[in-house]
Every structure is written in C-alpha cells, then in structure tokens.
Structure 1
Amino acid sequence: MSDSKDYYEILGVDRDADARTIKRSFLKKARQVHPDVSDDPDAEGKFKELNEAYSVLSDEQKRANYDRYGTADGPMGGGYVDFSDIFGGMGVDDIFSSFFGGAGGGRGGSQQRRAGRDMAISLSISLEEAASGCKKTISFDRLAPCEDCGGSGAAEGAREVECSRCHGTGYVTTYQRSIFGQVQSSSPCPDCQGEGTVIDHPCDMCDGQGRTPTHEKIDIDIPAGIATGRQLRVRGYGEAGFRGASCGDLIVTIQVTEHARFTRSGDDLLCEAHVSIAQAALGCEIEVDGILEGERVQVSVPAGTQFGDVVTQDGYGMPRSGAGSSKVRGRLLVRVLVDVPTKLNAAQREALERFAEASGDDVAHKKSVGDRIRDAIDDMLD
C-alpha cells in the first residue's frame, strides 16, 4: 500500500465515517469506474485505486494502522498479517466482475444460477496447532447478502413484477436468417437475467441483486489431528445467492507446514534423539519433547541399540481425527543417533582402551604413559 494516497479522499468519505458509509460510497463510485461498465480508458487503474482504498478502510486492523502510521502494514512494514493465507478462491476482481456483470446487475451479463457458488481458500497451520486443535480467524472477500435490503434486492415498499420484455418466461426468442433458412434461438432475458420478474424499485446499495461485495472475518475451529488436504466446510459463507437465494459454502483446505523436529506419517511422528556410545551399549532412559505444549516423553533405549535404530513409544503421536477419537493418538518413533566422542580425556581413553583390550579389538593407536600425562595436564587446563 502506498502511504502517499489519501484513501478517505479516494472514497469521498470523512475520516470518522462508519463502515456502512464507507461501503456505500465505495459501491457508488465502483459502479461509475468499474471496467465492465465504464468507457473511461483509465477505468481499470481508477478501479484498482478505489479497491485498494476500500480494502484498507473496510478492514478494522488495516484502517487502524493506516490512521496511525499512514500505511496498512503498520510501523514495521508488515506488522499486520491475515491469518487466512488466502490462495485460490474468487479474487476481488472476480467478485466485482460478478457483481457488476452477473445476474441481477442489470448490465446485460450472462445468466447465473440463483443460488450462490461455493468459495475456496487455503489455510496454513503449524504441526503443533494440528496436534492440539485450534481456532483461527480467517478473512476473505465475497458477495454477501446486502445489509440494506436483507438480501431481497428491493428498496422499501418495492415489489417484484413480471418482466415486460419476456412476459415472465425468463427467456427471449430471436430469429436469424441463415443459408438453412430462418433459425430460432432462445436465451436468458437480458432485462430480468432469466428470473421472469424484475423489482420496480431496486435497492440502491446492491442495485437489485440482494448481495454486495464484502470483506468478511470469521472464526473457525480446527479439529485435533487434522492433516494436509483436509477440507472444512463453513455453511453459508460462500457467495450469496441472487435476490435472497441460498448462499454457497466456504471450503477451507488445510495445509500443515513442515516441522523442524518432527516428520509426520499418518498418525505417527518421527523424531531423532542423541545418546552416547555407553548409553547405546548399556541401555538407558532418555526424555524427549512431545508435540503438545509442555509434553515430555520418557523413552527406553534398549541395550545394544545401533545408530539409526528406531524406538517406538505408543500414544504420543498425532491425535486420530474423527468423531470421538481425538484422545486416541498414534506412535512416537524415535530414531536413535549414537554420538561418537571426538575428544577423550585421559580417564575416558583409558576406559575405552581397556574395553577394546577385553573385547579383543585392535585400535589404531595406544598412547604411551607420557602421552597420557600430557592429556591429563591438558584436561586440567581446559
């Protein structure tokens, strides 16, 4: 966002204007400059500027940042981040093109079904959030039921009347001459967009559609154990239907980000833990961090464990998704890494040499008494 632009001036509203006033002014100006309805060669640039202003002033957090710092991103140049991580779905330009050129807009657009379409977005969450479940606030743009007319598309006291052009059929018939003779074709009525009725006094806010472009924020619950690719359906938060018809749904596709320590395989989690050669040879108990906050897991490493062996601990993996199963968890798989020391003090070297001798192992070098004395002095100095 550029801090050289006065968004209030672009929208033609006072700095203390409420959300309703901002939206009404935006829609009024958008109808004048949108490329689908304007002959102005600069219409596309003007609409983008208008939409930029509205996208800031219609969002409480962005507007607060803009009022205080002159930029929607806040003082750090990126301090505000939507939780939605929106990828895909209808873009803002698609939404407004649908509004100005679609069913009920009175602009001669193509026929669309009355019910609203489903919309889709993608939401990224951490593996910890997937393990524990969480609530997320998502933000997105959509055609929502008009607040002024309650979605009916009619101004106060208005009513639906039969379309005079198609006489209520919703279709008009045209005739064209061709080499095969006269060809008859039917198409949706451009006046009523195939509805068969028109509103004698349409709502000023939505131009008779019963829906307006809106920036939404909603909270959704993410169940524990959810995996990448799982879709959550939020009923009624897709595109609003035409003149009071049902809304579509919002479909949220979950993306679980990769974790620094854990690798997920279904309901199982794989991590790594380091042990010494003595612990691997003799066996030991170690403690590792679990995926849930504050969780510590006791893991038994059996004697004779080799580098790369995997120790399994049941009940400390990911919760199993599904009704009534969130308390049932998969396995924690701990891959054991045996650390070979790179520097030995005199006592450690002597112990290992005795071990090698008892095992009948040949070692590359046995230190003399003088070497051991020097090592002992080095250890005292360290």
Structure 2
Amino acid sequence: MSAKKDYYEVLGVDKNADAKTIKRAFLKKARTLHPDVNKAPDAEERFKEVNEAYAVLSDERKRANYDRYGTADGPNGFGSDYVDMSDIFNGFGMDDIFSSFFGGNPGHGTTRTRDMRGRDMSVTLHISLAEAARGTHKTISYERMAPCDDCHGTGTGPGGKVVDCPTCHGTGHVTTVQRTILGQMQSTMACPKCSGTGKIVSNPCETCNGTGRTPSHESVRIDIPAGVHSGQTITAKDKGEAGIRGAACGNLLIQIQVDKDERFERQGDDLYTVVEIDALDAILGCEKTLDGILPDEKVTLKIPAGTQHSDQIRIDRCGMPRMNSNARGTMVAVVRIKVPDNLNKEQMDAIREIVKDREGTAAKKTAKSKRGSKHPFGKR
C-alpha cells in the first residue's frame, strides 16, 4: 500500500472517529470486499488496503504514530513499546478470521459438529534475561474474533431470536443414505444449514451476520513474574477466540521465550559469566565489582591468591530469582587470566629478578635432593 494513501479515507471515516465507528466502517467494507463474496478484479487488493488501514487505526499506539508522523512505526521506524511476537496459530491469519466471519469454519472437518466455544490462541513472546530476572509486563496487540459490539455477542438483530435449526432439528448433524453396489451406506455430517451448531438466528445481527462475533484488533497486558523460564506459558483467560453467539471464549496462551544475554549464560537458576583478570592479580588475589542481573545490583567477587585460568568462583544468592520465592540461584564467575602487555622497563626488570631468584631457589632444592638420596639397595 502506498505510503501516501490516507487510512481514514480508505475506511471512509473522519480523523476524529472513535474506535467503535472505525470498527463498524471496517466491517462494512470488509464484508463487501472480501474475495469470498466479491469477484471484482480489484476486490482482493482493496480488501488488503482496508485490512491494513484497520490494523493501524484500531491500535492506539500505531494510530497516534500515524497521526503525528504519517507512519504507524513512529519516527525511528518502530514503536516505543514494541513486543516481538510470533507463532499465532489455530487458523488465525486474517484470511482465516474472515473465512470464519463469512460463514466458514477454518480448522474443523465438515463431518464434525462445530464447537460453540471459541478456540484457544497462542503467541510466543520474547523477553530479555534482565526482564525475566526482575519481572515485567508487556502489551500484546493481536487479531481475534471478538464478541460483536452491536448485538453483545448474541447474534440477533432487533426482534430476532435463536431457534432450533429446521434441517437438523437442533442436533447439529444430518444423516444421509446412499445406495451402492455394496448396499445402502449411511453417513453423518455437520448440518450445512447451521454449520453444525444446531441453531439458527431469525433476523440475525447485520454486523456479525448472526455469529455473535466480529474480527477485531485488540491489546492485552501480560504480567510476567520474576524468574520465568523459556517455554513456560502464561494464560490470559477469555482472551482467545470468542464463542459463537455468546458461548465461552477461548484463552490466549503466551509462551515465554527468554533471549540470550551478552553477559550471562543461564543454567537453571544459576548465571555463568566470564571475568577477565590480570595475571598479577591472579597471583596476589584481589576483589572485583561486577554488575548483577538486577537493576543497579553490584556484586563483589573475591579472587583468592593463586587463582588459575578457568577456575570457577561461586557467589551465592546472586543468580536468577526463583519464581514465587525469595530464593535466588548462584552466580558463577569463570576466570580468564590475561598476561599484562603494558609493563614498563622497571617493572619488567623487577619480574626478571623474581624469575632468577625462583630459578636459583629451585636449582638449590634440586641439588640438595640429589645429595640426600640413596640407592634403595646400597652401593653397586
């Protein structure tokens, strides 16, 4: 879509239109332009434009950016509260949402009675290790089938009501009998009249076509506890797909993915970090102050004299917080020794004297050891 295209013009609304007006305009245009019902050559392209315009104007942050900067992404190319989100499944691309809206039943076989309850949805939410350590909250924007605002999810228009389907008599399925060379064959399938629900609506709501739900762009705030691990799931109850004509909503399942950190490697609740020290500090011992995983946290690392390369020094209660507990894991500092390369002449001469003295002492000890040793069987 061209950057010069006016999203408000695409939906046919005023720039001061409220969210409900924008949604109604979107649904009205979507119903007439969807490729399933409109066979005009440009219908698909116009439908995509309407969908893109709604995706921006239905999101408060994107709309504010668009009104101010002319782009949904803001002045820097991305939103200030951007949440990396992927893996929306169970048929929840916009095409499947609209197929459901226009009477389709994505994700279900035609021989199975349609479930009135809304399906669960799932997203993968990426957070940093620091966010996992302190706990955080994120706002996720996503598309779903939501309860219809105009009929409050009932699917009925003025004076309308829900009645048993006359074709299946409220069972949700029909049975057919066919004659074959093997005799009569009986098969059962979802009722085509009511799509397997067993119910139909007299005088259905014009906005939702009697389903009680409409495509919607929504946001949900997720509270993430401190100490969360990759692979754990947080459930936002009733934030999944809306049920048909007031049936229960599904849940939104947020799978947490903790991204790798530049300073720490997480193993369970322990944090491993590499600490580089001068060879002379390793000989004499020293203390170093490290930045911890929590905000403004300082950790004192005591390096004993004679520390060797790759030694591991453990610091209790400085690792990751444990979920629903005051306990913490351990920080493990892996020592990397660096030989100094910036010593001046006097310092180098001092080290040479130390080396000579050590060599002389070692030679004397070796000679004394040889003089004092005796053959185990005496002279030969």
Q: What residue number does 2:333 align with? A: 334
Cα 1:16–1:111 shift into 2, 3 Å: farther
Kindly indicate whether residue 216 of structure 2 is the aligned counterpart of residue 210 of structure 1.
Answer: no
Note the C-alpha offset of 1:112: 2.7
The farther-off stretch of 6-15 and 181-190 is 181-190
The 8 Å contact of residues 56 and 62 in structure 2, kept in 1 or not, is answered as yes
Q: Is the 8 A contact 2:111 2:190 kept in 1?
A: no
Match of 2:141 in 1: 139
Hey, what does 1:123 align to over in structure 2? Answer: 125
Q: Residues 97, 178 of structure 1: CA spacing in aligned structure 2 closer, same or farther, 3 A cutoff? A: same
- What do residues 87-109 of structure 1 show as CA deviations (whole Å, max 9, x unaligned)? 333222222222223359xxx99
SS of the equivalent of 2:65 reads helix
CA distance in 2, matches of 1:295, 1:60: 35
Contact 1:144 1:213 in 2 (8 A): yes
Which whole-Å CA distance do the structure 2 matches of 1:299 and 1:65 have between them?
46
After superposition, give the CA deviation of every residue in 1:263-288 in whole Å (9 maximum; x if it has no partner): 11111111122222221112122111
What does residue 167 of structure 2 align with? 165
Matched with 1:371 is none
Shift of 1:9: 2.2
CA contact (8 A) 1:110 1:193 kept: no
Distance 1:170 1:111 in 2: 6
Q: Secondary structure at the match of 2:85?
A: coil
Q: Between 269-278 and 327-336, report the one with greater CA deviation.
A: 269-278
Q: 1:361 offset after TM fit, Å? A: 7.8
Secondary structure of 2:218's aligned partner: strand
Helix, strand or coil: the match of 1:232? strand
Establish whether residue 151 from structure 1 lines up as the match of residue 157 from structure 2.
Answer: no
Kept after mapping to 1: 8 A contact 2:113/2:197: no
Deviation at 1:130, TM superposition (A): 0.4
Alpha-carbon distance in 1 for matches of 2:162, 2:139: 38
| 1:369 alignment counterpart | none
Give deviations 1:54-78, integer Å, cap 9, x for gaps: 1111112212222233222223333
Deviations 1:192-220 (A, max 9, x none): 22222211121122111111111111111
What residue number does 2:371 align with?
none
Letter in 2 for 1:23: K
Q: Is the 8 A contact 1:36 1:101 kept in 2?
A: no
TM-score of the superposed pair, with normalisation by structure 2: 0.87
| 1:275 paired to 2:277 | yes
1-side partners of 2:65 and 2:75: how far apart? 8
Alpha-carbon deviation of 1:241?
0.8
| Cα displacement (A) at 1:41 | 4.0
> What does the per-residue CA deviation read over 1:143-165, in whole Å, with 9 as the maximum and x for residues that have no partner?
11112222111124321123222
The amino acid across from 1:233 in the alignment is T
| Residues 102 and 112, structure 1, Cα contact 8 Å, conserved in 2 | no
Pairwise CA distance, 1:32: 1.6
Please say if residues 126 and 257 of structure 1, whose CA atoms lie closer than 8 Å, have aligned partners that are also in contact: yes
Relative to structure 2, which stretch is displaced further, 271-280 or 68-77? 68-77
Over the aligned positions, Cα root-mean-square deviation in angstroms equals: 2.3
Q: 8 Å contact 2:99–2:105 — kept in the other structure?
A: no
Q: What is the one-letter code of the residue matched to 2:316? A: D
Runs of 4+ in structure 1 deviating by more than 4 angstroms, as ranges, are 108-111
Identity score, percent: 53
How many residues align structurally? 356
Which whole-Å CA distance do the structure 2 matches of 1:151 and 1:241 have between them? Answer: 8
| Secondary structure of 1:131's aligned partner | helix
Q: Does 1:30 align with 2:25?
A: no
Whether the aligned pair in 1 keeps the contact of 2:264 and 2:273 (CA below 8 Å) is yes
Contact map agreement 1:268 1:330 (CA 8 A) in 2: yes
1:351 aligns with 2:353: no
Tell me the SS of whatever aligns to 1:318: coil
Which whole-Å CA distance do the structure 2 matches of 1:113 and 1:167 have between them?
17
Specify which of 301, 304, 307 is matched with residue 305 of structure 1.
Answer: 307
How many angstroms apart in 2 are the aligned matches of 1:110 and 1:182? 22
Letter in 2 for 1:251: L
Structure 2 stretches lacking a partner, 5+ long: 362-380
Distance 1:116 1:44 in 2: 27
Decide which moves more: 128-137 or 25-34.
25-34
- Return closer, same or farther for 1:118/1:361 CA change in 2, 3 Å cut-off: farther
The answer to whether the 8 A contact 2:61-2:79 is kept is: no
Q: Which runs of 5+ in 1 are unaligned?
A: 363-382
| Counterpart contact for 1:66–1:74, Cα < 8 Å | yes
SS of 1:149 mapped into structure 2? coil
Change (3 A) 1:174 1:342: same
Matches within 5 A, 1:192-207: 192-207=194-209
User: Where do 1:1-382 residues align within 5 Å?
Assistant: 2-79=2-79, 82-89=82-89, 90-102=92-104, 111-321=113-323, 323=324, 325=325, 327-360=326-359
